Amino acid sequence: MDLGQVFTTKIISNYMASLLSNDKKRILEPCFGGGAFIEACLEAGFENIVGCELDGDLYETAKRKYPELELIKGDFLKYEPTNLFDAIIMNPPYIRQEKIDDLVSFGITKKEIRKNHIYNGLPSTANMYMYFVIKAISLLNPGGELVIIFPGTWMDARSGKSFEKLIKQQASIIEKIYVSGDVFDENALVDVVILKMIKDLSKSICTIDKHLSLVEGELREQAVEAYQQELNFPAPFSKYASVRRGLSTGWNKMFINPEGIDDASVLVDIISSPKSIKGYATKGADFDKLLVISDGKKLSGKLQQYLEANKQELLNEKKPKTLYEKCSVDSNWFRINELNSEGILFGYIIRNDMRFVLNDAGVVARDNFYIIKPRENIFVTLSLMNNCYTYYQLEKMGKKYGAGVLKIQRYDVENLMFIDLDYVSKEDFFKLETLGKKLVDTSDRNLIFEITKVISNYASMSYEKLMSEFGKIKKRRLEA
């Protein structure tokens, strides 16, 4: 059963523990899982730690490891302690609202959760982590601190505004820390933010924004490089978009273009390669087929045979390892969650020109792409991505592999800097939107230079100097 468990790496759990004030005496970890935060808090010098965990196996493991601590097996949302806490630290479960009722065997349903009046401000579409945050705030003493890591996409969710409003009725967000890189032990596809809150409304507190990258095992504050200082762009990528990697099937041989399967009810379009896209839009591209078997789908005889044959191969070969392990314990091992790939796609292995492509066909994108989800007007965002100022930054940041190949990491995209649209004239904003639309409609690469000229009105580096510097660095790469 999916309990929404995504385990935090040691470097992140240690960093989060360091955000807690030293005077916090009584600390709660509401879903301690593998015990990363318990260990981090102990190493930071905290002793009075209480933990909750629903997973019986994880609870027993932690109980044996930390017999001196007060550890509770059960549902945090039903936990009613005698005394409140000075601090709470957590990585709550990643369970979408439509999956909450799947936990009915634990006595957990949306209807049961929402009987608690503290959730009255949350819409019925609230995801599980939202309930955890509101519950956690309710268990804090005045002046108590909450440090939490969860998806940054809460700001874009339909329920996000109500969620933020309910938080601010009870607490102040004093730090908002965006983190890029491999934050979790698993390859979890999430846009991550760490929030530090304080349960104190007696004074107005400003939120401090930070941007960190987890690179080669080190957590680094994103510094503005010299070339970015020269551009003098004030707005970070996170202001306008989030980015995640496309869908990894775990075994493309089985899931992509499944041989002998022609049942349209279990096949959806997937775009596998940037080469299959003709211009700056996915409409008209060449698609592959992805095998997606929904919950409750009745399997035909042919499909059953196909799954059984692949299962036997997995059991015999014992690879791919992740799917083999899932196959050994889960009768629904063949189910994959279809990834929402709406937005802008970017093939991150560059052999010649860079292209950010509008996914106007709305198809699933494979893990050969990054999926960029705009927070702004999508055509304006497309223009912000498709111009020589952005290409220049990525040429500088990307890793060169010889033969003209450049690889762009996700954190490279997250480190991009842009003009501040709040200070762009209405005329130029309209130009950026119009040029983005034309780029999609015509695929005329000359429009890239027109977009670049508009942006040059707000850059310290002139259009002429940029084109010269960009031309030099790109030429060096291609001639390598």
pLDDT digits (tens, 9 = 90+) for 267-276: 999 999 999 9
Q: Are residues 150 and 81 in the same domain?
A: yes
CA distance 91 to 29: 9
Reference 348, options 217, 243, 227; nearest CA is 243
Domain region containing 49: 10-222
* Per-residue confidence (pLDDT) for residue 183, from 0 to 100: 59
Of 329, 353, 375, which residue constitutes the final position of a domain? 329
* Residue indicated by tokens 């010299």: 226
- Let me know if residue 32 belongs to a domain: yes
Q: Is 309 helix (H, G, I), strand (E, B) or coil?
A: helix
Strands (E), 264-355: 267-271, 288-291, 344-347, 349-350
Q: Domain boundary residue among 289, 308, 329? A: 329
Residues of the chain with pLDDT under 50: 1-4, 185, 187-189
Task: Give me the pLDDT at residue 187, please.
Answer: 46
How many whole angstroms separate alpha carbon 480 and alpha carbon 314? 41
Q: Closest by alpha carbon to 421, among 167, 146, 234, 152?
A: 234
Distance from chain centroid for Cα 41: 25
Query: Read out DSSP for 150-168?
Result: EEGGGGTSTTHHHHHHHHH
**Residues 35, 70 share a domain:** yes
Same domain, yes or no: 63 and 158: yes
| Coil, strand or helix at 381 | helix
Q: Is residue 231 part of a domain?
A: no
Looking at the structure, tell me whether residues 174 and 279 fall in a common domain.
no
Cα 135 to Cα 81: distance, rounded to the nearest angstrom: 12
Nearest to residue 49, comparing CAs of 61, 34, 58, 39? Answer: 39
Answer yes or no: are the C-beta atoms of 133 and 92 closer than 8 Å.
yes
Same domain, residue pair 28 and 48:
yes
Report the interhelical angle of 463-479 vs 388-397 (nearest 10°).
40
In a domain, 334, yes or no: no
26 and 171 assigned to the same domain: yes
* Structural domain includes residue 230: no
Domain count, the chain: 3
Q: Has residue 1 been placed in a domain?
A: no
90/166 same-domain check:
yes
* Residue position matching structure tokens 């979890």: 188
Six token digits for residue 74? 């059960």
Contacts of 97 (CB under 8 A, 6+ apart): 110, 124, 125, 126, 127, 128, 159
Instruction: Give the CA distances from residue 24 to residues 51, 76, 84, 198, in Å, rounded to whole numbers and listed in that order.
Output: 16, 21, 12, 12
In a domain, residue 3? The reply is no
Residue with tokens 């010269």: 468
Domain membership of residue 433 (yes or no) is yes
In the structure encoding, which two tokens stand for residue 1, read together?
Answer: 């059963």
Conformational region of residue 33, where left means phi above 0, alpha means psi within -120 to 50, and beta covers everything else: left
Whether residue 2 lies inside any domain: the answer is: no
Domain boundary among 329, 361, 392: 329
391 and 299 fall within a common domain: no
Over residues 31-57, the pLDDT tens digits come to 888 888 999 999 999 989 999 988 888
Asked if residue 318 and residue 430 are part of one domain, the reply reads no
How far apart, in whole angstroms, are the C-alpha atoms of residue 327 and residue 443?
Answer: 44
Same domain, yes or no, for 158 and 256?
A: no
Cα pseudo-dihedral 6, 125, 157, 107, rounded to 10: -10
Per-residue model confidence as pLDDT tens digits over 429-446: 999 999 999 999 999 999
Query: Any idea what the CATH number is for the domain that residue 61 is in?
Result: 3.40.50.150
- Are 193 and 130 in the same domain? yes
Let me know whether 297 and 441 are in one domain. Answer: no
